[in-house]
Amino acid sequence: MIEKALECFKEKFGDEGDIRCYFAPGRVNLIGEHTDYNGGHVFPCALSMGNYGVARKRDDRILRWFNMTWPDEGVQEISLDDLKPNDNGMWYDYQQGVIWAMLKAGIDIPGGYDMVMIADLPAGSGLSASASIEELAAVIVKDLYDLPISMIDCAKFGQVSENEYNGSNSGIMDQFASAMGKKDHAIFLDTADLSYEYVPLNLTNEKIVITNSKVKHNLTENSYNSYNQRRKESEEALADLQRIMDINSLGELDEEEFDKQCEYIKSDVCRKRAKHAVYENQRTIKAVKALQSGDLEAFGKLMNEAHISMSEDYGASCEEVDILAEEAWKLPGVIGSRITGGGFGGCTVSIVKNEYVDNFTSTLGSVYKERTGIDAEFYIADAGDGARRLK
C-alpha cells in the first residue's frame, strides 16, 4: 500500500525534499459500545488495517491532500487560515478538523504539507475509518513539525474534530484506540479519566473474525441524527437521576444501583438507553476479567448479551446486522458474536475457534446472502500498533 502511495505522491507533488510515510489503524471494539460518552469502560484493539499517508512539509500555509480511494475528487487544497467547522462528512474534513482543533488549542503549526493517502480499511463499516483519518493527520503534523504533544493529545484532538468540526457527538474510544494501539493487545480504557491498561489477546486457538454487513454505517448522514439522538437520550436519563443521586455519569452506577433508581427516569425510551449504558459498562468490566482469567466462554456469553442490549435497549443495530449475529450464534466453534462500532449498520465481531473459521465464513456468508441478498465480507482481525511514522 505505501509503495503505491509513494508513487502517487511523486506523480502529484514531485519527488524532491524530505518525504515521510505514516500509518493510522482502524479499530474493532470487542465489547463496550456507547459507553465512552457515558463515562464507562471500553475494550477496543487497533487493527492492522487502516489509512496510509505520504507527506512532506510546505514552506507556506497551504494544505494539499489527495486520496487514492476517491481519485475523482482530485487534490483538495485549503489554507491553515481558512479552516471552518462543517457537517459535510468528507474524508478531508476529518483531517481539517484535527488541525483546526490543534490551532484552536494554541498549538503553533508553522506551515502546511502535501499528502497522499490510501486505505485498506472499508469506509462506513463501523471500523473507525474517520478516526483513522483523524489520527493519520495528527501524527503527520506532530512528526513533520515536531510538535510537543502526546499521542493521547492526538486522540483528544481527533475527538474534537469529530464533535466540533464534523458534528458527530461521539466519545473518545475510536481515536484513543487508533492513536494508542499495541500489537497483540486490546485496550481496557476507563473513559471517565482516560486511565487504561493493555490486555494481551491470548487467543492461541481462536481468531477474531469481523463480518461486514455492507450496510453503510455513516454517522454524518442518516444515522448521524440517530447517533446524536442516542447520546441526547442518555444525557436526559442522567439528568433525571442527578435530581436524586450525586453522580457525574451513568458509568458510575452498577446494575443494582440502577435498578433501584431507574423509575426516576421519566421517559421509557431514555430508561432503556440508560440501562444499556450501565449494564454494558459492567459487562465490559466482567468481560476483561474473564479474558484475563482465561475464561473465554464467559467472555463470549457477555459479547452475545451485549449485542442483544445494543439491539433491544439502545436501538442501535439493524435487521441485517442482527441476522449476522443471530446466525453466528448457531454455528459450531463460535465463542461469541456481536455488533461492533457505533451501530446502524457496519460490522459484527466474532471469536471463532481456529478449526471452524472456514465453515463460519462460508456458512454465515451463504445464509446472509439468502436472507438479505447481500454478499458479506470477512476479515481476520490482527491487533496492531497505533498511529505512527513508518521507518
At residue 343, the pLDDT reads 87
| 239 grid coordinates | 439528568
What single-letter DSSP state applies at residue 184? T
Closest CA to 179 of 45, 281, 56, 52: 45
CB of 117 within 8 A of CB of 9? no
C-alpha cell at 261: 433508581
Question: Is the pLDDT at 106 greater than 60, yes or no?
Answer: yes
What is the model's pLDDT at position 209?
97
CA neighbor of 383 nearest in space, from 202, 135, 147, 113: 202
275 pLDDT above the threshold of 60: yes
Average pLDDT over residues 241-255: 97
**171-175 long-range contacts, CB within 8 A, separation 24+:** 171/34, 171/35, 171/36, 171/37, 171/38, 171/42, 172/36, 173/27, 173/29, 173/32, 173/36, 173/42, 173/44, 174/27, 174/44, 174/128, 174/130, 174/131, 175/131, 175/134, 175/135
Q: What is the DSSP string of 260-329?
A: HHGGG---HHHHHHHHHHHHHHHHHHHHHHHHHTT-HHHHHHHHHHHHHHHHHTS----HHHHHHHHHHH
At 40 the pLDDT is 97
What are the helix (H) ranges across 70-166? 91-104, 129-144, 151-160
Does the pLDDT of residue 336 top 70, yes or no? yes
Q: What is the domain partition of the chain in residue ranges? A: 2-201+385-390, 206-381
Whether this prediction's pTM lies above 0.75 is answered by yes
Mean pLDDT of 247-254: 97
Per-residue pLDDT, 167: 87
Single-letter amino acid code for the residue at 236: E
- Cβ neighbours around 369 below 10 Å, total: 12
> Tell me, what's the pLDDT at 221?
42
Whether domain 2-201+385-390 has CATH 3.40.50.11540: the reply is no
Residues 85, 88, 93, 98: is their CA dihedral positive or negative? positive
2-201+385-390 and 206-381 share one CATH topology? no
Active site residues: 174
Mean pLDDT of the chain: 94
User: Which three three-digit cell numbers place residue 269?
Assistant: 425510551
The predicted pLDDT at position 342 comes to: 85
Q: What is the pLDDT of residues 25-39, one digit of tens each?
A: 999 999 999 999 999
Amino acid 202: pLDDT: 86
The residue written with cell numbers 433525571 in the block is: 240
C-alpha cell at 342: 457505533
Higher pLDDT pick, 97 / 223: 97
- Picking from 45, 123, 51, 53, the residue whose alpha carbon sits closest to that of residue 90 is 123
pLDDT surpassing 80 at residue 122: no
- pLDDT band of residue 281 (cuts 50, 70, 90) is very high
Q: Pull the grid cell for residue 334.
A: 463460535
Residue 345 has pLDDT above 50, yes or no: yes
One-letter identity of residue 217: H
pLDDT at 158: 97
Q: What's the CA gap between 177 and 348, in Å, rounded? A: 18
Give me the residue label for grid cell 474510544.
173
Residue-wise pLDDT tens digits, 217-237: 544 344 446 888 999 999 999
Per-residue confidence (pLDDT) for residue 217, from 0 to 100: 56
**Confidence class of residue 89 from pLDDT cuts 50, 70 and 90?**
confident
Percent of the chain with pLDDT over 90: 89
Q: Which helix (H) or strand (E) holds 54?
A: strand 44-57
Position 220 scores a pLDDT of 38
pLDDT given for residue 219 in this prediction: 43
| Residue whose C-alpha cell is 495528527 | 138
pLDDT score of 128: 87
Superfamily the domain 206-381 falls into: GHMP kinase, C-terminal domain (3.30.70.890)
Cα 250 to Cα 231: distance, rounded to the nearest angstrom: 12
Cα–Cα dist 338/73, whole Å: 35
pLDDT tens figures, 365-390: 999 999 999 999 999 999 999 999 99
Residue with cell 493519520: 136
What is the band of 81 on the pLDDT scale with cuts at 50, 70, 90?
very high
Residues in the chain, total: 391
- Return the minimum-mean-pLDDT range out of 47-51, 70-74, 223-227: 223-227
- How far apart (Å, rounded) are the C-alpha atoms in residues 22 and 343? 29
